[in-house]
Amino acid sequence: MLTDIQKQTITNLRMQGLTYVEIAAVTELSANTVKSFCRRNHIHPLPSEPTTSGICKNCGKLLNQLPGTKQRIFCSDKCRYAWWNKQRRKQPYHLLCHYCGREFISYGNRKRRFCGRECYLLDRQGEGVP
């Protein structure tokens, strides 16, 4: 059973934005006890303003971080796609197509046998060489 002083302390600290674990360390209670008390009494931290911390990995623009959400790395999906596409093109392999004999470039997969889907399907169906 929590004392009135503990209840007031938990309420004040939670309104300041402290986590359950931080409150538990201060009050010397279990984190689950603090969590249960806060949920039963509908005690939520006050919403704070979005903070600007971090920069986009792709374009360097400042990111707006919302409290209580996963930390952002990219400013948009466009930047995320562009960054990943740059990263995966690390080592090009120059290979020959087993069907048509043309040279093609494969990024990251040196075991690739065909230059495209058409050559793969024609080879599989047993068609003659174009």
Alpha-carbon distances, residue 66 vs 71, 73, 79, 122 (angstroms): 8, 13, 19, 52
User: Domain range for residue 69?
Assistant: 51-88
- Residue 57 located in a structural domain: yes
What domain count does the chain have?
Answer: 3
Task: Give, for all 130 residues of the chain, the pLDDT tens digit.
Answer: 889 999 999 999 998 888 899 999 999 999 999 999 999 999 988 765 555 567 888 888 888 877 777 888 898 999 998 888 887 666 788 999 999 999 998 877 889 999 999 999 999 888 655 5
Token pair 């599989």: residue: 124
Give the C-alpha separation, 95 to 112, whole Å.
Answer: 8
- Residue 84 located in a structural domain: yes
pLDDT in tens, 95-118: 999 999 999 988 778 899 999 999
- Residue 130 located in a structural domain: no
- Residue 45 located in a structural domain: no
